[in-house]
Amino acid sequence: MIATFQTWKVLPHGKLTEIDENILTVVGEIPMPIGGLQRRMTVVRLTDGRLVIFSAISLDDDEMRALEDYGTPAFLIVPNSHHRLDAKTWKDRYPDIQVITPKGARPKVEDAVPVDATSADFGDDSVLLIDVSGTRSLESALLVTRTDGTTLVLNDVVANIRDEKGFGGWLLRMMDFASDEPQVPIPIKAAIVSDKAALSEQLLRWADIPSLKRILVSHGSAIETDPSGALRQLAASL
């Protein structure tokens, strides 16, 4: 695991993009010995203008100004202990932001930044923070309902990296982070998934959401073609 950043560190990233009503996302890259690893931050604006930041990425000045114009950063979701890289510097930049992480991840996350809570009531019924079943409360997800559909924001429990090349791409494929279809990565099964049956049931419950429109994952492309079918295939793969 890369050491937590102690100062604001901007790694390669794209531009914030509004993919749905009050939902922004941006994709960046973490340099790794095997090559760059894609990573995603998702930003959800609540009805009162406060922002929920899911899996924070430190952006350049222009993109941070765009984010602050969009709303007030109020909740910093560290969705598991592997995604604490930028947590301290975000807390330093926004001292009033509430740091939230799942209960099982709290001890390791607190090595990097004080944690305020392991659950959240955002005061907005359209945005729910969920402990992912079958992960011993080590992994969080967001469910965001909008007028034209529902977006499921997942973290490491599903990966969907495409078109990775070279040795790094081969290694990511061997670990099921990269594939021709979404996968539950092998290291995540080993480190986070403790009850495959419970996780499978969770995936199927999400698949049954009639309004499900897309799935955002922290590592890889958005799943927008038949997201319910993808979840059912993932459940069957467990």
Please say whether the beta carbons of 57 and 41 come within 8 A: yes
Position 3 scores a pLDDT of 73
Lowest mean pLDDT among 136-150, 154-168, 196-210, 218-232: 154-168
139-192 residue pLDDT tens:
999 999 999 999 999 999 999 988 777 767 777 777 778 788 999 999 999 999
Position 161 scores a pLDDT of 86
Q: Residue 1 pLDDT more than 60?
A: no
8-state DSSP, 163: S
Question: What average pLDDT does range 214-218 have in this prediction?
Answer: 97
Q: Tokens 């070279």 appear where?
A: 166
Superfamily of domain 17-237: Ribonuclease Z/Hydroxyacylglutathione hydrolase-like (3.60.15.10)
Instruction: Annotate 23-56 with b (16+ C-beta within 10 A) or e (fewer).
Output: bbbbbbeeeeeeeebbbbbbbbbbeeebbbbbbb
Position 30 scores a pLDDT of 87
Question: What average pLDDT does range 60-70 have in this prediction?
Answer: 98
Distance (Å, whole) CA 199 – CA 133: 5
Please say whether the beta carbons of 17 and 37 come within 8 A: no
Report the DSSP beta bridge partners of residue 36.
Answer: 31
Distance (Å, whole) CA 125 – CA 185: 31
Position 95 scores a pLDDT of 98
Would you place residue 33 in the very low, low, confident or very high pLDDT band (cuts 50, 70, 90)? Answer: low
Report the DSSP beta bridge partners of residue 53.
Answer: 43, 76
Q: Residue 223 pLDDT more than 60?
A: yes
Position 2 scores a pLDDT of 63
CA distances 4 to 65, 92, 108, 199, Å, are: 23, 13, 11, 29
Residue among 71, 78, 134 at smallest CA distance from 101: 78
Position 148 scores a pLDDT of 94
Q: Give the whole-number percent of the chain exceeding pLDDT 90.
A: 87
Position 171 scores a pLDDT of 74
Q: Tokens 């923070």 appear where?
A: 129
Q: How many alpha carbons fall within 13 Å on the CB side of residue 121?
A: 1
Instruction: Pick the more confident residue, 35 or 48.
Output: 48
Position 179 scores a pLDDT of 83
Q: Residue 35 pLDDT more than 70?
A: no
Position 100 scores a pLDDT of 98
Per the prediction, the chain carries an average pLDDT of 94
pTM score, whole prediction:
0.95
Position 37 scores a pLDDT of 83
Question: What residues have CB less than 8 Å from 236, skipping those under 6 apart?
Answer: 200
92-116 residue pLDDT tens:
999 999 999 999 999 999 999 999 9
Q: Residue 39 pLDDT more than 70?
A: yes
